[in-house]
Structure 1
């Protein structure tokens, strides 16, 4: 009995092992068939299995990022920069200062205003000081004059009143102006390329990255455009600062000789002495009410003390008379 049971168990185990082996072989065969079918499908498309697993179309933006579009108006030294597309004419900024003396202040101020208007200019700022009573008025102007009228204006304004001093300066900004033009051209080209890539973007990440670059480029374009406009304004309109002072006599320009130095030193010394006397007299006039009040108080004190002194002497005389 026991032998039969053992025999049946052995046979059952053998049958189970055989079944598991057949199942494993079937799964392996099925996986191989599937893999072979999949490979044949990729081959029919002309692609390898590894290529199919890569992200196809990583995006034109990635290609754009790999290219170098940051070379704004740069020259590697191997080739000359083509400047034919830029305005390379001489760009000059004129700035001048004029100091005038005037015996007819109101008339000369009106003459300056008429000259600025006649030459197509305008006043950027004006200011005035002093009053007519003391004859010590002065005025300051900052005028913007068209560059093509600058020389004529300078010659005319120098004839108003008496020219005490004059200075002029010229700033050549040609290279800076050309550089701004080149940078604007480069940035506009970059903006066009970014806009093309924006239309071709096939995912949100690339689209957002391109829009950030577009905003940055547009900001730079606005900045350089504003700088170019500022240059144009300074080039088209020269800046002239004018100071005019009311005087009773014009300052004389004398040769620098020893005699003239002596005369000037004596004149300055005498003028200083006269000014001191004037200041002293003016101070006395200001203090006169206080001086009068002090004098009255001193007179009262002196009168009271004198009266007391007389009464004291009379008392002494009376005492001597009584003793005798």
Structure 2
């Protein structure tokens, strides 16, 4: 009676065929692409991507991560930070980081600044331009930098891996109910656990890329007028203005030096006067003795 044995061996044969097909898929993917595992994550099982999906990257919606830096000179940095927060939240964004510092004395300029602030803003990518214009209106733009990184291929690669892993886990769960031996059951549970761990890793990458693509990151620095960068003169009139400001700054610095040295000069002058009187008195006494 070979038929019962053959029927009993069918689940084991199906499991073996499934595992072998998974290995074959891994080898075909590794030989077809040089991308390998994503940066910062272990490779795990590789999921093949069809040539059609790879060639459609240009036609599909692009996934772009945008980051930027904006430096503004404002009258009141702390108040401007509150306004910037309101602008970003009204656009559907959020503030991921906020640093503020109070007024500081500027000895080199004989002035006190109005403090400052630095904000890490997350702004919806489709509203970045409009929000940026509103932020720029808060003060004078000293520096603006924007950079973009296209991660379309990475996002599509991860999506394909997630889809394939979910399908693989579904098939393995179906086979688990039909396992004929303990060894088959253990092998299936091990395969399911391994693919589940890989799936969770790729799903974490999906969430990371989705957050970075949907929300652009802008670092906003707010400084006061007292520490604003000095504009370089480019005309005759601006040259005169710069020269006058330099002369005033030099005079102010000179007054500071005189003020610091004046007490010492007074003390040294008094000491010199006393020494001079003593010397004169001694000379007069010597002259009087010589005359006698």
TM over 0.5: yes
Aligned equivalents of 1:162, 1:115: Cα separation in 2: 17
Which of 124, 134, 152 in structure 1 is aligned with 2:96? 124
Aligned equivalents of 1:208, 1:300: Cα separation in 2: 105
Does the C-alpha gap of structure 1 residues 131 and 260 become closer, same or farther in structure 2, counting only changes over 3 Å? Answer: same
Correspondence for 2:136: 158
Does residue 1:311 correspond to 2:285, yes or no? yes
How big is the alpha-carbon RMSD for the aligned residues of Structure 1 and Structure 2? Answer: 3.9
Does residue 1:178 correspond to 2:143, yes or no? no
Aligned equivalents of 1:171, 1:213: Cα separation in 2: 36
Aligned equivalents of 1:224, 1:109: Cα separation in 2: 37
Does the C-alpha gap of structure 1 residues 266 and 130 become closer, same or farther in structure 2, counting only changes over 3 Å? Answer: farther
Tell me if structure 2 keeps the 8 A contact 1:69–1:190: no
Aligned equivalents of 1:214, 1:312: Cα separation in 2: 116
Correspondence for 1:35: none
Correspondence for 2:207: 229
Does the C-alpha gap of structure 1 residues 229 and 76 become closer, same or farther in structure 2, counting only changes over 3 Å? Answer: closer
Q: Secondary structure at the match of 2:103?
A: coil
Identify unmatched segments of 5+ residues in structure 1.
1-44, 48-55
Q: Once the 2 structures are TM-superposed, how far is the Cα of residue 261 of structure 1 from its aligned partner?
A: 4.3
- Alignment coverage as a number of residue pairs: 256
Aligned equivalents of 2:264, 2:169: Cα separation in 1: 82
Correspondence for 2:122: 144
Question: Greater CA radius of gyration, 1 or 2?
Answer: 1
Does the C-alpha gap of structure 1 residues 58 and 179 become closer, same or farther in structure 2, counting only changes over 3 Å? Answer: closer
Does the C-alpha gap of structure 1 residues 154 and 215 become closer, same or farther in structure 2, counting only changes over 3 Å? Answer: same
Tell me if structure 2 keeps the 8 A contact 1:119–1:149: yes
Does the C-alpha gap of structure 1 residues 83 and 262 become closer, same or farther in structure 2, counting only changes over 3 Å? Answer: closer
Give the TM-score taking structure 2 as reference length.
0.68
Give the TM-score taking structure 1 as reference length.
0.63
Does residue 1:102 correspond to 2:74, yes or no? yes
